[in-house]
Structure 1
Amino acid sequence: MTDAFGRKIDYLRLSITDRCNLRCRYCMPEEVPFVPHENILRYEEMVRVCAAAARLGVDTIKVTGGEPLARKGCAGLVRALKEVPGIRQVTLTTNGVLLADQLPELLAAGLDAVNISIDTLDREGYRAVTGRDDLPRALAGLEAALAAGVRTKINVVPLAGTGREGLLALAALAQDRPLDVRFIELMPVGHGADLAPFGQAELLAALRERWPGLASVEERRGNGPARYWRAPGMKGALGFISAVSHEFCGDCNRFRLTSEGFLKLCLCYGGGVDLRPLLRGGASDGELEETIRRAVWNKPAHHSFGRGPTEEGRLMSQIGG
C-alpha cells in the first residue's frame, strides 16, 4: 500500500486504551478525562481493522496506549494479531510498571519486542514527571525483559531543565546491556505543547563528551525512524527520534488507529477517518479495506510542527504513543 507520494505504508500503531497508570505531565496530567468505555473499540474490532490493513500490505503492528497493559487481555490481543495472515511482527510500547507480571504471557502469545518508557533513573525525578512513585516497578519490568532475551529499547523524552547527568545515566544503560536507548524529541501535541524539549544538539554534544568514540551507524535497528549512534565496546546503541528539528516525513511508513477507532495519517493533523461507524454499522471487509486505502492515499506530505499551529486537538494519550 502506498500513498500519493509513493511512500510504502506498512506499519500501524494501534492504541488499545486511553487509560494509564501514570500521569506524565507531557501526556496526560491528572485532570485528563477518559473516553467512555462504549466508545473504545473491542479487541475483535481492532483485529478486524488490522486484518484489513494486512491485506493491504501492513506487516508490523505496534501496540500502544495510554498504557496498553492497563487494559485486560492485552496478551490475548497480541496472540490474535500474530495469527492474522501477513502480520510479520507485533511489538509493544509500555511504561514497564506492569510488565514483569505480564511478560511471560505476552511472550507466549508471540510478542516480538518491547519498548519501555523511562525518562529518568532518579526516583524523585521519576515521581515528578509521572506523578507516581513507580520507578522500581518500571525497572523491574526492564530487568524482566532483558532476562527473557526479548528485543528491548528504552524510550526517553528529554525535557528542558532535565539534568544532563541524568540523561547520560540513561544512555549508559546501553554500554553493558543489549538494549537501545532512544531519545525522543518532545512533540508539541496536547500538554507537550506547553513544555520545552532538551535539544538534540546539546544532548549529542554531552554524549560525545562522555563517549569520545561515539559515531553514527547506518544499520536499521527496528521499525522506526531513529538514527543510531554507538561507541566502541557498547553492547547496545543510542538513538534519536527528532521529528520536529530533524524531519523524516519523506520516509514515513506509518499510520495510527486510536482506541476509539479513528484512523490518523499524521500526528500533526486532526484529519483522518472514523472507522467505528463502519465496524459497528455492518460494513463489509471490502468496504473497510477501501476506506483504509483511500485514507492512506491522502496521507499528508509532511507535518507542520515548528511552522505553524498544530491542528490536532487530541491529547497524546487519546492518540496513542
Structure 2
Amino acid sequence: MGGLSDRFGRIARDLRISLTTACSLRCTYCMPAEGLPVIPRDELLSASEVARLVGIAVHRLGLTEVRFTGGEPLTRGDLVEVVRRSAEAAPGIPLALTTNGIGLDRRAAALVDAGLTRVNVSLDTIDREHFAALSRRDRLPAVLAGIDAALAAGLTPVKVNAVLMRETLDDAPELLAWALDRDVRLRFIEQMPLDADGVWTVDAMVPAQELLDVLGTRFALEPAGRDDPGAPAELWRVDGGPGTVGVIASMTRSFCAACDRTRVTAEGTVRSCLFADDETDLRGLLRSGGSDDELEAAWRRAMWGKPRGHGVDDPGYRRPVRTMGAIGG
C-alpha cells in the first residue's frame, strides 16, 4: 500500500495526536473564557491506545515523526507513560511535544528519560501584562521557567511558537531579541479561523508581511528558505545570522499543497485536515477488538478524503465546528 497518501498525491509523514482538550490557559485565539467542555477520562485515548496508534502510524503507514498536542498535554497526569509507551512502540522515531510550558519545569527531565526528543512552547509575548490579557491568566513566569527547564534537559533546539495577534504585534521585535539571546527558534504563526469565540476575520488578522515590516524596523532580515520542502515555516536570517526567525503564513501563503500531516483527536478520531469536520473513529475499533489491519484500513480511508486545501477563500467556506483547542493543532 505504500505511505499514507491522499487523492492529491500528498504523503503524510507527521502525526499530530491530541491527548486532551483541557488547558491551563484561555488564549483568546484558541479557548473560550470558560474553557472547553471536559471530556470524561474514559473517553480519552489511554496511554496504551496512543502507543498502539503510534506503532501503526510508524510501522504500517510510514510516518516519521510524532507530536503530542492538546489542549495542553501537560495536564495529563500520565504524560510520561504516554511518551514511554510510544517510544517503545516506535523505537528511534522523534517524539515531540507542543505545550504552553506551564509545569514543564517539573517534568522535563522525566519526559526526556521516557523518550521525548523535541519540544515546541507556545509564547506570544514576553510582556507580562499583554500575556495575561491574551491568555486570560498571569502565568508568564511559569512559561519562561518551562522553557529554561527544556533547555536544561537537552530538548534542543527548543522552538517557540507565537500566534500573530494585533494586540501583541508591537511586542514581536522584543520577543525575537529574547529568542535570539537564549538560542531558541522562534516561529510566528498567522492566526487561523479556529478560535472558540468565532470572531476571526481576514481584515483583523495580522498577515505575515505586516509582521516582517515590524521586525524590519529593528532587524535586517534575509530570506533563508525552509528547513525542508514540507516544512511550513519560511525562514529569515536575522542580522546576517546565524540566528533565524520563521513565519508560518497559514492564511496568506498557504502551504496546503505540501501538507504532510495527519491528526488524531483526543477522543481517537482521525481528522484529515484542521479545517475539515469529517472524522473517522479509531477509538471504537480499538475498544471493540479491531485488528491492526482494520485500524490501518480505516486510517487510510480517512486520509484519502483529505481536501485539497483549507478553502478559507472559497465563497461557500464554513468555519469548522471544532476549535483549535479541541482539535490539537
Structure 1-normalised TM-score?
0.94
Superposed CA offset, 1:46-84 (max 9, x none): 111121111210121010011001101212211221222
Q: Which residue of 2 aligns with 1:123?
A: 128
Q: Which residue of 2 aligns with 1:13?
A: 16
Q: Which residue of 1 aligns with 2:207?
A: 199
Unaligned runs of at least 5 residues, structure 2? none
Alignment check: 8 A CA contact 1:177 1:235 kept? no
Equivalent AA in structure 2 for residue 36 of structure 1: P
Q: Tell me, in whole angstroms, the C-alpha distance in 1 between the residues paired with 2:173 and 2:252.
A: 21
Other structure's SS at 1:140 match: helix
- Find out whether 1:105 has 2:82 as its counterpart: no
- Find out whether 1:162 has 2:165 as its counterpart: no
Q: Which residue of 2 aligns with 1:237?
A: 244
Alignment check: 8 A CA contact 1:227 1:239 kept? yes
**CA distance 1:179–1:143, shift in 2 (3 Å):** same
Aligned residues: 319
Q: Which residue of 2 aligns with 1:69?
A: 74
Q: Which residue of 2 aligns with 1:313?
A: 321
Equivalent AA in structure 1 for residue 173 of structure 2: L
Structure 2-normalised TM-score?
0.91
Equivalent AA in structure 1 for residue 208 of structure 2: Q
Q: Tell me, in whole angstroms, the C-alpha distance in 2 between the residues paired with 1:193 and 1:210.
A: 34
Identity %: 42
Other structure's SS at 1:191 match: coil
- Find out whether 1:177 has 2:177 as its counterpart: no
Other structure's SS at 1:139 match: helix
Among 259, 269, 287, the alignment partner of 2:266 is 259
Alpha-carbon offset, residue 20 of structure 1: 0.7
Other structure's SS at 2:113 match: helix
Cα root mean square deviation, aligned? 1.8
Equivalent AA in structure 2 for residue 174 of structure 1: A
Alignment check: 8 A CA contact 1:176 1:236 kept? no
**CA distance 1:190–1:176, shift in 2 (3 Å):** closer
Other structure's SS at 1:183 match: strand
Among 27, 30, 35, the alignment partner of 1:27 is 30
Superposed CA offset, 1:115-149 (max 9, x none): 01011111111111111111001001111222333
Q: Which residue of 2 aligns with 1:148?
A: 153
Q: Tell me, in whole angstroms, the C-alpha distance in 2 between the residues paired with 1:193 and 1:186.
A: 12
Among 26, 43, 48, the alignment partner of 1:39 is 43
Q: Tell me, in whole angstroms, the C-alpha distance in 1 between the residues paired with 2:43 and 2:119.
A: 27
Superposed CA offset, 1:130-172 (max 9, x none): 11111001001111222333220111011123241x1111111
Q: Tell me, in whole angstroms, the C-alpha distance in 2 between the residues paired with 1:281 and 1:272.
A: 18
Q: Tell me, in whole angstroms, the C-alpha distance in 2 between the residues paired with 1:86 and 1:312.
A: 35
Unaligned runs of at least 5 residues, structure 1? none
Q: Tell me, in whole angstroms, the C-alpha distance in 2 between the residues paired with 1:4 and 1:235.
A: 40
Alpha-carbon offset, residue 221 of structure 1: 7.0
Q: Which residue of 1 aligns with 2:144?
A: 139
Equivalent AA in structure 2 for residue 80 of structure 1: R
Other structure's SS at 1:189 match: coil
**CA distance 1:230–1:119, shift in 2 (3 Å):** same
